[in-house]
Amino acid sequence: MLIGSARVSTQDQNLELQTEALTRAGGRKIFSDKLSDSRAEQPGLTQAQEVLREGDTVVVWKLGRLGRSFKHLVNLVGEIHHLGVQFKSLADALETGTPQGRFFFHVIANLAEMEREVTVERTRAGLEVARQLGRKCGRKRQMTERRIKFCQETARQRCSASRGGRQSRSSRPYSVSVGSRLDPPLA
């Protein structure tokens, strides 16, 4: 029996492309996960492993959709192979039912791992160059310095009015600091 395994990395991505391909390939049961590559647990994959029997084949849309890393992928395929279960990747035209298929699996898995590492390396290099050029990386600040000062001054004035000039206990845990002057209201 063909047991399908599908995975996307974020909640925004859609599993339909993978599940449709797995169904067309003859997948009788399809298990799926929506989670990041870095997460250790894949509940859908764990469920798929629990139903595997000797003679079954685990089928995935693409090799990178099964494991988080080369080591994880090789270990996983090794574990299922010991159960008498084969592995098949549709997009990579790869099956581990023969010695040549197992060899090709290792070659493709190594290439996939290298591709992932090169992508991470390029991303880090690009971020470093951007920093050296003075560009700010990451999310934009939600509040400008002017708004921060205005909020601090407003909090200070409210504190002074309600406590006779003393900072209230409720403002301390929120790190409300006292500004030097009142900024005009923001439009």
Give the residue numbers marked as catalytic. 9
Who contacts 74 (Cβ-Cβ below 8 Å, separation ≥6)?
Answer: 67, 106, 109
Q: How far apart are CA 71 and CA 142, in angstroms?
A: 41
The secondary structure of 46-73 as a DSSP string is: HHHHHH--TT-EEEESSGGGT-SSHHHH
- What b/e readout covers 7-24, taking b as 16+ CB neighbours within 10 angstroms? bbeeeeeebeebbebbee
